[in-house]
Amino acid sequence: MIKKELLSLLADEESANVEYKTNYHKETIETIVSFANAKGGKIIIGIGPDKKIVGTQISSESVQRWLNEIKSSTAPSVIPDIDIVEIEGKSIVVISVAEYPIKPVSYKGRYYKRVVNSNHLLNMEEIANEYLKTRNSSWDFYADATTAMDVISWEKVTKFIGTIEKHQNKKFQEREEEVLAKYGVIKDGHITYGGELLFVKEFSPWSGIQAGRFKTEIDIIDSISLNSDLFTEVDELMIFLRKHMMVEFIFTGEPQREERYDYPIEALREIVLNMIVHRDYRSSNDSIIKIYDDRIEFYNPGALWDDLTIEKLLSNNYESKARNKLIALMFKECGLIEKYGSGIRRIKTMFREYGLIEPLFEERGSGFKVTAYKEKLDEGVNEGVNEGVNEGVNNLFIMIKNHPNKKTPFFAKELDTSVKNIERWIKQLKDEEKIEFRGAPKSGGYYAK
């Protein structure tokens, strides 16, 4: 590494791929493993507090000793590149770690992964996930050797195959069991975990979903509990959602009257499909849907998968990776979901076109939550304002709901407008008591009330 590149690195703070250390010690190897299990990174040794260049004692023998220690204490063995750079007469060591192709890598039997700017110790579930991702596989593709084939309903299998044939305009020549084996639903004569979820005959211990109509936070008017196959759960949930929504009949002069529900039905169906397909079925928690007078809350066990974040999700600029590859494949084959990664964009668009504000997407602990609101676009924030400003104010309000604790420059960049426009719109939202600033001036940000 040349001096110019190192000085460029020192201009940045510690991050997901850069860490500064005063000296080499065992925690350095933890960081090496963390980078190897993520996207790679660089450790810069000889940097004190406030990124002050203090240097470190180093020789060719030291470098070889470090490499031997790193190699012998990691499994599979990691051998990073080590460069020595002289700055201000002091020796700075740069350890460059590449992303390891086979994950996860351990240090003395413990597994770490870089998350933001710190090393995260992986638990057993996360270790298994890293291994599955390396093999480009997922939990639902694995065979359940303890369960007999008669756990599944062949009547449901026949219906599913017929749906694929109709959707794709083709005819399978193989027997049903061969078709399932072709898709990976059956492996070595055993049904996979995904196959159980898709075609279980009666009760599934994995797929619990609770849905309820709430009058208040504690008063439940109606509820259902589902533990069936995934396709049936989608249908039953949509019936329950329709049952508890107001519907307006619009007569347009056409023979067929138009039905308008409180929410766009297709958008709600997309949310339900996302719940079913992307849920973490190894969790002991159920999926939960709560219907209130003014909103519907959808909660799913399983945080965003891999390195996906809320910011990436809402930007539509990300690579879609499915937690449950087999389930996602089966839903796509029969036409229930379209292109991977396009669901959130369609949901947001359908709500806007329906005249409602966009849903709120957020991570909650080890789960993911979507809140759909009944609030109309032309209420509250946009009364008495011209159409151009009206759109900007509303978009900012939605952005603040989806990205709390952010400041003016962030919103200006995301909405592709000037800071002055954002400041004007923020003033209007504050005057209407729609938002508030919380926290210290340097670390705080705006929140929707």
Residue ranges per structural domain of the chain: 3-123, 140-199, 209-373, 387-448
Tell me which of 3.30.1360.150, 3.40.50.150, 1.10.10.10, 1.25.40.10 is the CATH number of domain 387-448. Answer: 1.10.10.10
CA separation (Å) from 79 to 63, 71, 84?
A: 12, 6, 16
Q: How would you class 360 by CB atoms within 10 Å of its CB: exposed for 0-12, middle for 13-18, buried for 19 or more?
A: middle
Beta bridge partners of 360: 371
Nearest-Å Rg of the Cα atoms of the chain is 27
| Strand pairing category for 220-226 and 81-87 | unpaired
CATH topology classification for 3-123? 3.30.950
Q: Is the dihedral of CA 339, 344, 348, 354 positive or negative?
A: positive
Q: Is the pLDDT of residue 385 over 70?
A: no
Quick: pLDDT tens for 215-254: 988 899 999 999 999 999 999 999 999 999 988 776 656 6
- What is d(CA 376, CA 299) in angstroms, rounded to the nearest whole number? 23
Distances from the Cα of 399 to the Cα of 57, 362, 426, 435, 442, angstroms: 50, 12, 12, 11, 20
Tens of pLDDT, residue by residue over 131-176, are 777 666 788 988 887 788 889 999 999 999 999 999 999 999 999 9
Q: What is the mean pLDDT of residues 33-49?
A: 91
Positive or negative CA dihedral for 45, 49, 50, 55? Answer: negative
Q: Which CATH number does 209-373 carry?
A: 3.30.565.60
In tens, the pLDDT along 168-198 reads 999 999 999 999 999 999 988 899 999 999 9
